[in-house]
Homo-oligomer: A and B are copies of this chain.
Amino acid sequence: MQLQQALDTLDDVQRKMYAFGSATSALYLDSVTVAPKDTAEGRGVALGILAGESHKLMTDPALAEALDCLAEHREELDQVRARQVEELGRQVRVLKRIPAEEYMAYAQLANQSSDVWHRAKETSDFELFRPCLEKLVEYKRKFAGYYDPDMAPYDALLDQYERGLDREYLDRFFDVLRQRLVPLIRAVGERPQPDVSFLHKHYPAQQQKAFSDYLMEVMGLDRAHCTIGETEHPFTLEFNNKDVRITTNYRESDVSGSMYSVIHEGGHALYELGVCDEVQYTCLAGGTSMSIHESQSRFYENIIGRSRPFIEAIYPKVQSFFPQQLEGVTAEQFWRAVNMAQPSLIRTEADELTYCLHVMIRYEIEKQLIGGTLAVKDVPGVWNSLYKEYLGVDVPDDKHGCLQDSHWSDGSFGYFPSYALGSAYGAQMLANMEKDIDVWGPVGRGDLSQVTGWLREKIHKYGSILTPAQVLERACGQFDPTYYTDYLTKKYSALYGL
């Protein structure tokens, strides 16, 4: 095969994968927003076939031949081409080990499970979801063997989300957090709590929607390229760097829930919107890993969004959206309220300080589920007892317990640790950003353009041209979780007068 022919094959496959990906995304987006309830079956047929077509494309001998040819010409390839060959080569090797029928059956199952999970969560009925979860775990254990037969199953899944990530690395990371944060959480727990009652007055969805629009404006999200919708579980979905969607979930008794969902998903969206044009419609078009993605979303949500300068800057406007609800409440009170640290039930509503414990519980459970040492039927019991043990809270029902997150319903085992890692990466990025630019001056004026500019230069624009490790190295050097624990210690000492 000639070099040019191999490059053409590479481009052709990548553009087709983009098309199938867009199609799958559009069907998924529809299914969680406007689709009628009892329509999963027909959609599953379509998604299964699209997955099969993608599989066929990636396992086509012509692609393998092209990748071999390009690997031989490695010296002649530029950085982008070299990364495409590396990334696609890895995906092809994995996929070749998964039989096409299993791959298609799994895609259908994941689609169906998502629908069942929605209904199970609504009615807090774990038994309804259990058979799906059992099959998903079974598939994922089997897939782990395809990903890397030499790794323990859960390590193989972790490695899919972040190259090189394994239980050893995570156990060490969570140990540092545990050692440094548990005493801090205990000390905070002994201090008086701020008043948060005003966050739970009646906040009509309509007003919250207008507020979301404002938040997107503050974040610099261009509405001609990014819209916001409503779903049970907020998420970000990117079609390409000119077309990104975020969703949120309005609860009328809680203004901060949607507020920080919007800022979190907005962070994901800024990453995707900031990727350079050069890699669009290729396998390098998206963010480079889940944890780097979470580093961005949680950077905007917590490090910026819950900072005192940011709150001070936007608060007059916040009050103008909710004049009755926030009458007599100062910016300082609002800042203290949205930073209240207290063990709770729902991960997505957890405060910045206790959040990692929620992640640790999921990590422990999925590590055992995939490891084969925990049966699906025992998940609610273990979930509830870990929440009691780590957070001291009683789980009233599975809706507020093990059915709260969508991740497992679409087979995302090994994703959760990214949230904790991303938070830690973000704190280290902040330390470096503060060396380069004046962060808090502009943020204190409600201007995030410098912050976003720095992140775009260091991280966003590369998409997946750089590996996660390279991005991290460029943005903040060698990973050291104590940046994160130092950041939290400083922040919560100030908030709680320790």
Residues of A within 8 A of B (CB): 15-16, 18-20, 22-24, 26-27, 29-30, 33-39, 41-43, 45-47, 49-50, 53, 223-227, 229, 239-240, 242-245, 280-281
Closest Cβ of chain B to A14, distance in Å, is 11
- Nearest CB to that of A229 among chain B residues? B34
Nearest B-chain residue to A24, judged by Cβ: B23
Task: Look across to chain B and name the residue whose beta carbon is closest to the beta carbon of A38.
Answer: B224
Copy number in the complex reads 2
CB-CB under 8 A from A39, the residues of chain B are 224-225, 239, 242-243
Q: List 26 A-B contacts (CB under 8 A).
A: A15-B49, A16-B53, A18-B45, A19-B45, A19-B50, A22-B27, A22-B42, A22-B46, A26-B26, A26-B30, A29-B30, A30-B30, A33-B34, A35-B227, A36-B223, A36-B226, A36-B244, A38-B224, A38-B242, A39-B225, A39-B239, A42-B280, A42-B281, A45-B281, A46-B239, A53-B53
Contacts A23-B27, A27-B22, A50-B23 given; does A240 touch B36 at CB 8 Å: no
Q: Find out whether the CB atom of A225 lies under 8 angstroms from the CB atom of B27.
A: no
Neighbouring B residues of A27 by C-beta, 8 Å: 22-23, 26
Q: How far is the CA of A224 from the CA of B39 in the complex (A)?
A: 8
Chain B: CB-nearest residue to A50? B19
Chain B contacts for A29, CB-based, 8 A: 26, 30
A13, chain B: closest CB distance, angstroms: 11
A33: chain B residues at CB < 8 Å are 34
Q: How far is the CA of A122 from the CA of B26 in the complex (A)?
A: 26
Cβ 8 A contact of A243, one of B42, B242, B245, B281:
B42
- Taking A23-B23, A36-B227, A39-B224 as given, write out 7 further A-B residue pairs in contact, using a Cβ cutoff of 8 Å, ordered by the A residue number: A19-B49, A19-B53, A20-B23, A36-B225, A36-B245, A42-B240, A53-B53
